[in-house]
């Protein structure tokens, strides 16, 4: 399993920075993370074609390690999703064009 060497959460810049063992550094915005929540409720909504708008002011308030990933707690109260390391790496590596497409 590929786990990051470090995680840094910047409330001011509204982004999570991950540094991986291979030297790659990725930055993922808080709004992107919230919009890509992998919990069953959010995933089900995306599969039904429901696209929820994420407030640009949403912030990642807390990170809880869960072994194979992290549970992220957001300022809008959402805290249900566990983001596997592999999923975070995928989110951080997406091109700008693919970031505009909804995640299923």
**What is the model's pTM?**
0.85
Residue 20 sits at the vertex; the CA angle it makes with 46 and 69, to the nearest 5 degrees, is 45
The set of residues, in sequence order, having a beta carbon less than 8 Å from that of 40 and lying 6+ positions away, is 80
Asked whether the predicted pLDDT for residue 98 surpasses 80, the reply is no
Specify the CATH class of 4-99 in words: alpha beta
User: Given a cut of 50, is residue 71 above it in pLDDT?
Assistant: yes
User: Which residue blocks in 17-84 are alpha helix, DSSP H?
Assistant: 30-35, 40-47
Quick one: pLDDT band at residue 96, thresholds 50, 70, 90? Answer: very low
Contact present, 86 and 92 (Cβ < 8 Å): no
pLDDT at 100: 46
- Residue-wise pLDDT for 11-66, tens only, equals 999 999 999 999 999 999 999 999 999 999 999 999 999 988 899 999 999 999 99
pLDDT at 97 over 60: no
- The domain locations on the chain are 4-99
Q: Which two three-digit tokens encode residue 79?
A: 């805290």
Residue 88 has pLDDT above 60, yes or no: yes
The first and second tokens of residue 75, run together, are: 């300022």
Of 30, 34, 14, 44, nearest to 104 by C-alpha is 44
């Amino acid at each position: 399993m590929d786990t990051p060497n470090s995680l840094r959460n910047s409330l001011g810049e509204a982004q999570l920075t991950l540094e991986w063992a291979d030297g790659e550094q990725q930055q993922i915005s808080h709004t992107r993370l919230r919009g890509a929540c992998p919990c069953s409720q959010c995933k089900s909504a995306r599969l039904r074609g429901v696209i929820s708008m994420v407030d640009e002011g949403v912030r990642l308030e807390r990170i809880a390690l869960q072994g194979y990933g992290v549970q992220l707690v957001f300022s809008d109260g959402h805290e249900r999703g566990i983001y596997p390391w592999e999923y975070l790496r995928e989110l951080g590596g997406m091109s700008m064009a693919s970031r505009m497409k909804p995640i299923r």
